[in-house]
Amino acid sequence: MKLVTFSRHGSRHAGVLEGDQVVSLTEAGLADSVLQIVEGGAAALQRVRAGHAAAPRYSLEEIKLEAPIRPGKVLCSGINYKGHALENPNAKMPTEPFFFAKLPSSVTGHDAPVEKSSRTEQMDYEVEFSAVIGRRLYRAKESEVMEAIFGYTLLNDISARDVQFKDNQITLGKNLAGFAPIGPCILTADAMSKPDNVRLQTRLNGRTLQDGNTSDWLFSLPLLISFLSNFMPLEPGDIVTTGTPAGVGIFQKPPIFMQAGDVVEIEADGIGVLRTPIVAG
């Protein structure tokens, strides 16, 4: 099942994406938000499955998709693909997972314009396969992780490289306005049989620049999340990304950076396409 958040006539709805239609769970009285479903776990999902067929439906042309969830925390794994580590001349193969944060204020949704700020001339893309936490995890064992994942989504880890690499300003370089597009949906975990074998792509103006697979991970998803949970509690609705495959803009020859007027699309098998137009700041 693909869960979405959408707006229509100024109202925000939790919904289910089915082909080129969305079902309004909110109008059917089944859920006020996707987070409510995540927090409700299996019982909430069962209620949605049982009742959504009779809920009001709209075409995608009638609604606007939003970020499917507003996470309390977005923790991003850095250098977690062998290919990405190898393409980076300054990278060292990590011996344990490395994380940085995307702030909730940077989150935006599908097809939402993102400004090319005057603060950067090196605006880069990164497709990131991401897990949505379904229940509280703290000091979790690897064997406990998979059953605590609610579902999966995509995050475009947009980065201002000239900010990020100047004096190691990773927080600033990763958190300009709109630098965390998420979506287009959350695919529930039961619909993703092999998260460790998912094709990921990035297209800039139709040109494929990243084409990788989660099978190239350095650290598995259970290891990533278990490691992270041993430093901080993870709550329902938090998002943990799993790094990006080779092909980011800064390591193209010559480098490729996004400009106003560009359109970037990231895609994952099963989840779909997350589209982001770049506009002038």
Mean pLDDT by 10 residues, the chain (281 residues): 97 97 98 98 96 96 97 96 79 87 97 97 98 98 98 98 92 97 98 97 98 97 98 98 96 97 98 98 86
Query: How confident is the model at residue 167, as a pLDDT?
Result: 86
Residue with tokens 């998002």: 239
Domain hosting residue 232, numbered range: 74-280
pLDDT score at 92: 74
- At position 163, the amino acid (one-letter code) is V
On whether both 125 and 9 belong to a single domain, the answer is no
Tell whether 141 and 259 lie within a shared domain.
Answer: yes
Task: Mark whether 109 and 215 lie in a shared domain.
Answer: yes
What's the pLDDT score for residue 168? 87
Number of domains in the chain: 2
Quick one: 236 and 180 in the same domain? yes
pLDDT for res 217: 96
167 and 267: one domain? Answer: yes
- Residue 16, pLDDT score: 98
Instruction: Please report the sign of the dihedral spanned by the C-alpha atoms of residue 55, residue 60, residue 64, residue 70.
Output: positive
Backbone angles phi and psi of 28, in degrees to 5: -85, 0
**In the prediction, which pLDDT does 90 show?**
74
Cα–Cα distance, 260 to 171 (Å, whole number) = 23
Name the average pLDDT for the chain.
96
What is the predicted pLDDT for the residue at 89?
73
